[in-house]
Each structure stands twice: as structure tokens, then as C-alpha cells.
Amino acid sequence: MLVENLKILAVVIGTLAVFTLVANSIPQVQSVVPEELSFGADVTESELTASGEILYGGAGGCTACHGRGRHRQYRSSLWQQGGRTGL
């Protein structure tokens, strides 16, 4: 019985080691912290749209999952939401 338990423990530890090695070998995406935006009461729609496009395509990292078009799209496309995004 002890030998069987040691074999099970070895398989579990080996599996965890393999998954840890694979997970650590995947390159991580490093994002830049976006600059702070502050708007007054007289902000225009075009200013908000321009700021949103910069955030969406840049430091926000939204295109990694949502993509522009169909490239590398893991989540719903924000470009096909009935024009709600204004992009």
C-alpha cells in the first residue's frame, strides 16, 4: 500500500511540475500604464471618442481578446455590437 501511495504522489508531483514548467514558459503580455485622463464638464463627444480609441487600441489591451475584425478574437467583437461603440 505504501508503494502505491508513493507512486500516486510521484505522478501528482510530476504533473504539477510539468504544468508549472509549461505555464512559466509562456511569454506574458506586459502592458503600459495608461496616462491619467481627466475631463471637465465641457468635454465633447469627439474628445471622449478619441480617448476611448487610444485606450482600446493601446494601453487598455482590449484588442488582445476582442480584436479588430477577426484576428486573435477570443471574446465578442466590439466592432459588431450594432454601432454601440462608435468606433
pLDDT of residue 87: 47
Query: Which pLDDT does position 32 carry in this prediction?
Result: 65
pTM exceeds 0.85 for this model: no
d(CA 67, CA 77): 7
Please give the Cα distance from 7 to 11 (Å, whole number). Answer: 6
Domain ranges of the chain: 44-87
Q: What pLDDT digit, counting tens, does each position of 32-86 carry? A: 666 777 788 888 888 888 888 877 777 667 777 766 655 555 555 555 554 454 4
Please give the pLDDT value at position 57.
75
